[in-house]
């Protein structure tokens, strides 16, 4: 009897293996240069992915000698997905991913530098260079190489209820933290049942981290100084923590903010229980029948130690991954260059909701009707300062400092009731220093 | 009278327990019937009758490859389930009856192998999959799911076989059956609840697995349901009504499977089966 | 023999395991491929002497795993006994009880968070409007409440598994035994303690051991709910090891933390085995 069972098992396993093998041979049949392209879901399912695949199809048609295969990668734990694939040699040839990903793989030596594209642009005085905001190319410049080309940028902002502002008699929008606090106090006084401000404050979805990044950047400071030393003990960071404490102590934010994810804060704003929402741009607010006529976004603000308003943004880019095949390299570079120059439809048809890096894209008639995106372009974009501030580019330790959310961790300590700012800063300072050390080794 | 009261109490308790257990399932269902903004705006569990919106379901079913992902998941889960049940039945019986050191050692080893967190073994696991050309194939997923569930399956069935009195097969052997026939005709039918549990267990675990699938599968046409659901998740934004509708749709096949499988969760040992 | 197939599966499981143990003895850093060195037990020494987060996470992992097992076992036993009674629509209830298990964990975590929200969550809303509570409960804000909440959601998630294995176990009990007890004049409660429970011993041992391993090793539940927060209150070892591996890129050190975890689990399992053997 046991021999029989063994046979059955052997048959099942070999069937399974055959099924696997047949899939692989089918893919290898064509003779074109095959490029695997991993893309993230930058917009809504059924809208963004359709536009992106159409763009890939267009490329394939224009370049009959190449076949780009489009694969959509889930956001959830994407770094691990990339890491596993890349370290075992089954990674993509080209990919878009979370902003700091190219830096992480460049440190491992897995990135194909894009210097030749930039050199060509400079030689030919390509108009594309003029079309990009200053400094955005440099966000992905590491150890003498351009490791990725940015194509969209991402920010956080304050969406507010114009009707509640009117009710409270607020006529001027705040442009400093102090004015923001005053506005929040006025709102609370005029309508105690509505929270003046809601925001995610949790660790998981990065709520506390994003709040702190907005605060630090607008107060002209970061966890690391421009020359790569920890700056967590800076009095400017104390000011950020004090600001969080004020929000909490004067009950300007809900008591349970420390546990809120983005969806919790959004729900409160949608249902009219909050006057201001801080977080990523939510196109849904501007599509909602009951909200769309009475909301807008606040102006950029500056902290007590800053000389001008600054708003944090993240550069999202497309990168090429190392490839031994010399012939393929050029095909990969060509595709990356083409994508950056031709990805307008991802914004207009794909409605990805981010800010395009090429300013000329915003001349498209689409932006006449896209209220939220137009507002961001007009109001917020001129004050953009990169998330790695005061450092210009993604630097190796940023992966850990941002990934483990040391800024957010400090904010959470304040949100949970601690007011010993110096001790909090010392704890996180130690973490930041060990992160910098770890990358030095 | 007393009998009715205790009956009533029983039903009330059953309903209460069921309600508590499926509370979040109900909110999910409610969300799937709301429009995208209503899902965020209206905080009631269900939309009012006139506001019921079925568009999410239509959109999910129209989304490229969603239906195919259900077929993929069904294929992978059923294959893993069938293999697991067969292998575990033989192995569990062998361990129960022959009590060899090799078997006990084998099962102990399998257990220890489960003790490292999956998150960290994924990388080396992927490496060996690549060597065997199993990455980005359903075969690879099936093997991973089998190895994830087999320990439990063997162990549980061993427990069931242990509680089956040896007299039963012995009487079969005396009647001229081979050991294999005795196992097939006497032991297996009695162990139906155990087999049903193992089937439910392996099916559900494979159906719901996500971490391994996320690493192993890249091609759109091979994705399983939980991977397909991720399409509705953006970096900082989730389309909750679509996601909920997608989750409801994927639950329907499993619900049918559970309704079918639990029928076999009935008394295996009927009164009088064991003489003396 | 079954062996050929089982050997393949074993190889696929054993290789990652051995490579995990091997990595724990090196300074393997993901960002510096090719530079890994054998450093003996250095990682372990650092874990045991310098790493406070490790011990905190280990402690809560213990609490989390053991509480989930205890609560799930007791509740699972009660629910299984209930669903073992004769009633109309029993099949439907049985299927319903299994629901928490079959729905995408990410969707379920989000729905729990909404149900538990202090401002718009249904649970607080009902309790406050019925006048049972004056102020909403902040389920995921303070240390002890957050820990309690994630444990309870863990119980909710694992209850179906416990219920179904115990229910199946109950089916294996010969009705002769109950018949004999009835003749001796035993009541239902006596039956439960003197027949049902002892007969479930073997099934219980299996399910408790496995649940202990899964709960202790569990990553998804807490990761989806709090990711170890707020303020590190719900940090468990798998999440800590994940952070070490993927944010600090210290794969070697993370592997050492996992191997330590494995040792703790082996000890727990042995204790559990010993207890159940004594009970026999």
Minimum Cα–Cα distance from A156: chain B residue: B236
pLDDT at position C223, please? 92
User: Quick check: C225 and A204 CB within 8 A?
Assistant: yes
Length of chain B: 276
Map tokens 């069935």 to a residue: B157
Instruction: Report the residue from C107, C115, C265 with minimal CB separation from B115.
Output: C265
Q: Which residue has the higher pLDDT, A293 or C2?
A: A293
Interface of A with B in 270-309 (CB under 8 A): 270-271, 279-280, 282, 284, 287-291
Q: Which residue has the higher pLDDT, A27 or C30?
A: C30
Query: Does residue C193 sit at the A interface (CB-CB below 8 Å)?
Result: no
Interface of B with A in 193-212 (CB under 8 A): none
Looking at residue A381, what DSSP letter applies? G
The answer to whether residue A184 scores a pLDDT higher than 50 is: yes
User: Quick check: C138 and A273 CB within 8 A?
Assistant: no
3-state secondary structure of C184: coil
CA dist., res. A414 & res. C214, Å (int): 34
Percentage of chain B with pLDDT > 90?
30
The answer to whether residue A312 scores a pLDDT higher than 90 is: yes
Q: What's the CATH code of the domain at C103?
A: 1.10.3720.10
Q: Tokens standing for A414?
A: 């304040």
User: Quick check: C120 and A80 CB within 8 A?
Assistant: no
Domain B63-262: CATH superfamily is: MetI-like (1.10.3720.10)
Interface of C with B in 143-182 (CB under 8 A): 156, 159-161, 164-165, 167-169, 171-176, 179
Residue C201 placed within a domain: yes
Domain A31-154+314-384: CATH superfamily is: Periplasmic binding protein-like II (3.40.190.10)
Residue C19 placed within a domain: no
**Measured distance between the N- and C-terminal CA atoms of chain B, rounded to whole angstroms:** 38
Map tokens 């006057």 to a residue: A275
pLDDT at position B118, please? 81
Q: Which residues contact A304 (CB under 8 A, 6 or more apart)?
A: A176, A177, A178, A219, A239
Percentage of chain C with pLDDT > 90?
44
Confidence of residue B275 (pLDDT cuts 50, 70, 90): very low
Question: DSSP characters for C115-154?
Answer: HH-TTT-HHHHHHHHTTS-SS---TTTSHHHHHHHHHHHH
In terms of C-beta density within 10 A (0-12 exposed, 13-18 middle, 19 or more buried), how is residue A199 classed? buried
pLDDT at position A23, please? 46
Q: Which chain A residues are Cβ-neighbours of B178 within 8 angstroms?
A: 1
Instruction: Report the residue from A13, A202, A441 with minimal CB separation from C230.
Output: A202
Q: Which of A126-140, A158-172, A240-254, C2-16 has the lowest mean pLDDT?
A: C2-16
CA dist., res. A253 & res. A259, Å (int): 12
pLDDT at position A213, please? 96
CA dist., res. B254 & res. B256, Å (int): 5
For range B253-263, the mean pLDDT: 88
**Distance to chain C for B163, nearest Cα, Å:** 7
Q: Which residue has the higher pLDDT, B182 or B52?
A: B52
**Distance to chain B for C16, nearest Cα, Å:** 5
Residue C167 placed within a domain: yes
Minimum Cα–Cα distance from C32: chain A residue: A108
> Do A66 and A93 contact (CB within 8 A), yes or no?
no
The answer to whether residue A441 scores a pLDDT higher than 80 is: no
The answer to whether residue B166 scores a pLDDT higher than 50 is: yes
Q: Which residues contact C107 (CB under 8 A, 6 or more apart)?
A: B28, B229, B243, B244, B247
Q: Which residues contact B64 (CB under 8 A, 6 or more apart)?
A: A46, A49, A50, B220
Confidence of residue C32 (pLDDT cuts 50, 70, 90): confident
The torsion angles phi and psi of C103, rounded to 5 degrees, stand at: -100, 140
> Do B148 and B205 contact (CB within 8 A), yes or no?
yes
In terms of C-beta density within 10 A (0-12 exposed, 13-18 middle, 19 or more buried), how is residue B167 classed? exposed
CA dist., res. A322 & res. A316, Å (int): 19
**Distance to chain B for C131, nearest Cα, Å:** 19
pLDDT at position A1, please? 39
pLDDT at position A390, please? 92
Question: DSSP characters for chain B?
Answer: -HHHHHHHHHHHHHHHHHHHHTHHHHHHHHHHTS-HHHHHH--SSS--GGG---HHHHHHHHSTTHHHHHHHHHHHHHHHHHHHHHHHHHHHHHHHHH--HHHHHHHHHHHHHTTS-HHHHHHHHHHHHHHTT-TTSHHHHHHHHHHHHHHHHHHHHHHHHHHS-HHHHHHHHHTT--HHHHIIIIIHHHTHHHHHHHHHHHHHHHHH--HHHHHH--SGGG--HHHHHGGGB-SS-B-HHHHHHHHHHHHHHHHHHHHHHHTT-S-SS-TTSS--
Cα–Cα distances in angstroms (integers) from residue A292 to residues A159, A194, A288, A289, A299, in the given order: 11, 19, 6, 6, 18
CA dist., res. B46 & res. B30, Å (int): 4
Instruction: Report the residue from A44, A154, A287 with minimal CB separation from B239.
Output: A44
Q: Tokens standing for B171?
A: 């009487």
CA dist., res. A291 & res. A106, Å (int): 44
Q: Which of A230-239, B46-55, B192-201, C18-27 has maximum average pLDDT? A: A230-239
Q: pLDDT of B110-140, one tens digit each?
A: 888 888 888 778 888 888 888 888 889 999 9
Confidence of residue C2 (pLDDT cuts 50, 70, 90): low
Query: Does residue B240 sit at the C interface (CB-CB below 8 Å)?
Result: yes
H helix intervals, C120-250: 122-129, 143-171, 175-183, 188-191, 197-199, 201-217, 220-225, 237-246
Q: pLDDT of A323-340, one tens digit each?
A: 778 889 999 999 999 999
CA dist., res. A249 & res. B172, Å (int): 78
Q: Which chain C residues are Cβ-neighbours of A438 within 8 angstroms?
A: 248-250
The answer to whether residue A38 scores a pLDDT higher than 80 is: yes
Residue pairs between chains A and C whose CB atoms are closer than 8 Å: 117
The torsion angles phi and psi of C227, rounded to 5 degrees, stand at: 50, 40
Interface of A with B in 385-404 (CB under 8 A): none
Confidence of residue A25 (pLDDT cuts 50, 70, 90): very low
Residue C30 placed within a domain: no
CA dist., res. B143 & res. C250, Å (int): 29
Which is nearest to C84 in space by CA: B6, B10, B259? B10
Verify cis geometry, omega within 30 degrees of 0, for the bond prior to A390: yes
Residue C12 placed within a domain: no
Q: pLDDT of B7-18, one tens digit each?
A: 888 899 999 999
Domain that holds residue C141: 36-279
In terms of C-beta density within 10 A (0-12 exposed, 13-18 middle, 19 or more buried), how is residue C49 classed? exposed
Confidence of residue B269 (pLDDT cuts 50, 70, 90): low
Confidence of residue A52 (pLDDT cuts 50, 70, 90): very high
Measured at the CA of C126, the angle between CA B24 and CA A207, to 5 degrees, comes to: 60
For range B217-237, the mean pLDDT: 89
**Distance to chain B for C59, nearest Cα, Å:** 17
For range A237-262, the mean pLDDT: 96
CA dist., res. B218 & res. B136, Å (int): 6
Neighbouring C-beta atoms of residue C154, cutoff 10 Å: 23
Q: Which chain A residues are Cβ-neighbours of B139 within 8 angstroms?
A: 16-17, 19-20
- CATH topology agreement for domains A31-154+314-384 and A155-313+391-440: yes
Map tokens 């010969």 to a residue: C174
The answer to whether residue A313 scores a pLDDT higher than 70 is: yes
Q: Tokens standing for A402?
A: 């941002």
Confidence of residue C280 (pLDDT cuts 50, 70, 90): low
pLDDT at position B268, please? 56
Verify cis geometry, omega within 30 degrees of 0, for the bond prior to C230: yes
Residue C26 placed within a domain: no
User: Quick check: C2 and A9 CB within 8 A?
Assistant: yes
Ranges assigned E (strand) in A301-366:
311-321, 355-356
CA atoms within 13 A on the CB side of A320: 26
Instruction: Report the residue from C96, C115, C266 with minimal CB separation from B21.
Output: C96
Which is nearest to A313 in space by CA: A157, A96, A86? A157
The answer to whether residue B71 scores a pLDDT higher than 90 is: yes
The answer to whether residue A194 scores a pLDDT higher than 70 is: yes
Residue C56 placed within a domain: yes
Angle between helices C52-83 and C251-279 (to 10 degrees): 40
User: Quick check: A204 and C113 CB within 8 A?
Assistant: no
Q: Tokens standing for A127?
A: 């108009």
**Distance to chain A for B58, nearest Cα, Å:** 12
pLDDT at position A243, please? 97
Cα–Cα distances in angstroms (integers) from residue B168 to residues A99, A337, B191, in the given order: 66, 75, 13
Which is nearest to A416 in space by CA: A249, A299, A295? A249
CA dist., res. A424 & res. A410, Å (int): 6
Going from N- to C-terminal start, the domains of chain A cover 31-154+314-384, 155-313+391-440
For range C67-85, the mean pLDDT: 94
Q: Which of A21-35, A306-320, B28-42, C127-141 has maximum average pLDDT? A: A306-320
Q: Tokens standing for A125?
A: 């005085």
The answer to whether residue A200 scores a pLDDT higher than 60 is: yes
For range A64-70, the mean pLDDT: 94
Which is nearest to C244 in space by CA: C263, C265, C228, C268? C228
Count of domains forming chain C: 1
Q: Which residue has the higher pLDDT, A2 or A194?
A: A194
Neighbouring C-beta atoms of residue A138, cutoff 10 Å: 14
| CATH fold group of domain A155-313+391-440 | D-Maltodextrin-Binding Protein; domain 2 (3.40.190)
CA dist., res. C81 & res. C178, Å (int): 14
Q: pLDDT of A149-164, one tens digit each?
A: 999 999 999 999 999 9
Region class of C185: left (phi > 0), else alpha (psi between -120 and 50), else beta: left
Query: Does residue C221 sit at the A interface (CB-CB below 8 Å)?
Result: no
Residue pairs between chains A and B whose CB atoms are closer than 8 Å: 148
Residue C29 placed within a domain: no
Minimum Cα–Cα distance from A441: chain C residue: C32
Confidence of residue C278 (pLDDT cuts 50, 70, 90): low
């Amino acid at each position: 009897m046991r021999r029989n069972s063994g046979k059955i098992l052997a048959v099942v396993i070999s069937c399974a293996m055959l099924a696997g093998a047949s899939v692989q041979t089918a893919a290898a049949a064509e003779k074109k240069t095959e490029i695997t392209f991993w893309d993230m879901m930058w917009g809504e399912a059924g809208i963004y992915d359709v536009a992106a695949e159409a763009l890939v199809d267009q490329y394939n048609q224009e370049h009959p000698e190449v076949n780009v295969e489009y694969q959509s990668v889930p956001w959830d734990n994407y770094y691990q997905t990339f890491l596993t694939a890349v370290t075992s040699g089954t990674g993509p040839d080209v990919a878009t991913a979370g902003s700091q990903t190219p830096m992480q793989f460049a440190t491992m030596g897995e990135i194909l530098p894009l210097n030749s594209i930039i050199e060509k642009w400079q030689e030919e005085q390509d108009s594309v260079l003029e079309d990009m905001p200053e400094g955005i190319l440099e966000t992905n410049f590491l150890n003498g190489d351009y490791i990725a080309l940015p194509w969209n940028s991402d920010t956080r902002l304050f969406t507010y209820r114009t009707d509640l502002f009117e009710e409270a008699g607020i006529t001027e929008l705040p442009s400093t933290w102090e004015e923001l606090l005053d506005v929040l106090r006025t709102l609370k006084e005029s309508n105690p049942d509505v929270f003046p401000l809601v925001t995610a404050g949790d660790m998981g979805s990065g709520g506390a981290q994003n709040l702190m990044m907005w605060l630090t950047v607008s107060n002209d400071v970061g966890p690391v100084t421009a020359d790569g030393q920890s700056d967590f003990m800076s009095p400017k960071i104390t000011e950020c923590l004090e600001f969080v404490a004020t929000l909490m102590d004067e009950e300007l934010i809900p008591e349970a903010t420390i546990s809120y994810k983005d969806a919790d804060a959004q729900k409160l704003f949608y249902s009219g229980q909050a006057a201001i929402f801080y977080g990523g741009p939510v196109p849904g607010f501007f599509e909602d029948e009951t909200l769309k006529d009475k909301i807008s976004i606040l102006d950029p603000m500056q902290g007590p130690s800053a000389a001008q308003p600054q708003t944090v943004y993240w550069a999202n880019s497309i990168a090429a991954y190392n490839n031994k095949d010399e012939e393929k390299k050029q095909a990969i570079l060509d595709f990356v260059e083409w994508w950056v120059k031709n990805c307008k439809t991802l914004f207009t048809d794909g409605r990805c909701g981010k800010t395009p890096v090429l300013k000329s894209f915003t001349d498209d008639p689409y932006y006449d009707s896209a209220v939220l995106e137009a507002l961001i372009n007009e109001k917020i974009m001129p004050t953009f300062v990169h998330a790695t501030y005061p450092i210009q580019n993604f630097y190796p330790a940023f992966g850990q400092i941002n990934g483990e959310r040391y800024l957010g961790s400090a904010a959470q300590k304040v949100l949970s009731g601690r007011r010993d700012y110096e001790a909090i800063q010392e704890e996180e300072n130690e973490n930041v220093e060990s992160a910098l050390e770890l990358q030095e080794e | 009278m007393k009998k009715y009261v205790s009956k009533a109490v029983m039903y009330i308790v059953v309903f209460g327990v069921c309600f508590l257990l499926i509370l979040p399932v109900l909110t999910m269902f409610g969300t799937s019937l709301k429009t995208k903004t209503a899902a965020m705006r209206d905080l009631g569990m269900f939309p009012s009758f006139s506001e019921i919106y079925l568009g999410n379901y239509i959109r999910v079913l129209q989304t490229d490859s969603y239906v195919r992902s259900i077929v993929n998941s069904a294929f992978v889960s059923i294959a893993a389930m069938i293999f697991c049940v067969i292998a575990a039945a033989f192995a569990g019986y062998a361990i129960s009856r022959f009590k060899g050191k090799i078997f006990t050692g084998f099962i102990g080893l399998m257990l220890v192998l489960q003790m490292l967190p999956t998150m960290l073994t994924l990388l080396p696991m992927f490496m060996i999959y690549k060597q065997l050309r199993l990455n980005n194939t359903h075969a690879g997923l099936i093997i991973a799911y089998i190895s994830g569930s087999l320990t439990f399956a063997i162990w549980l069935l061993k427990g069931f076989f242990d509680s089956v009195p040896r007299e039963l097969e012995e009487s079969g052997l005396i009647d001229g059956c081979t050991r294999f026939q005795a196992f097939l005709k006497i032991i297996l039918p009695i162990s139906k609840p155990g087999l049903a549990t193992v089937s439910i267990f392996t099916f559900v675990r494979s159906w719901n697995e996500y971490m391994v699938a996320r690493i192993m599968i890249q091609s759109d046409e091979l994705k399983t349901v939980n991977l397909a659901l991720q399409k509705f998740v953006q970096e900082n934004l989730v389309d909750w009504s679509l996601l909920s509708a997608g989750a409801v749709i994927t639950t329907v096949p499993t619900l049918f499977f559970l309704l079918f499988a639990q029928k076999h969760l009935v008394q295996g040992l009927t009164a009088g089966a064991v003489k003396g | 023999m079954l062996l050929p197939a089982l050997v393949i599966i074993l190889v696929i499981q054993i290789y990652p395991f051995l490579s995990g143990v091997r990595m724990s003895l090196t300074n393997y850093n993901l960002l510096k491929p090719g530079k890994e060195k054998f450093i003996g037990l250095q990682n372990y020494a650092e874990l045991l002497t310098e790493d406070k987060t490790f011990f905190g996470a280990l402690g809560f992992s213990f609490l989390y795993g053991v509480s989930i097992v205890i609560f799930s076992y007791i509740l699972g036993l009660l629910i299984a006994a209930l669903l073992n009674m004769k009633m109309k629509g029993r099949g439907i209830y049985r299927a319903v009880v299994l629901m928490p298990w079959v729905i995408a964990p990410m969707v379920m975590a989000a729905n729990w968070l909404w149900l538990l929200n202090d401002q718009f969550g249904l649970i607080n809303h009902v309790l406050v409007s019925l006048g049972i509570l004056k102020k909403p409960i902040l389920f995921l804000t303070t240390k002890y409440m957050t820990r309690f909440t994630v444990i309870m959601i863990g119980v909710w998630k694992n209850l179906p598994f416990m219920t179904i294995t115990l229910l199946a176990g109950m089916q294996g009990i010969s009705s002769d035994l109950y018949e004999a007890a009835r003749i001796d004049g035993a009541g239902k409660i006596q039956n439960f303690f003197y027949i049902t429970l002892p007969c479930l011993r073997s099934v219980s041992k299996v399910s408790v051991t496995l649940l202990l391993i899964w709960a202790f090793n569990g990553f998804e539940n807490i990761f989806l709910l709090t990711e170890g927060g707020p303020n590190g209150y719900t940090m468990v070892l798998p999440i800590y090891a994940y952070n070490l591996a993927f944010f600090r890129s210290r794969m070697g050190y993370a592997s050492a933390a996992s191997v330590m975890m494995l040792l703790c689990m082996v000890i727990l399992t042995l204790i559990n085995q010993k207890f159940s053997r004594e009970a026999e």
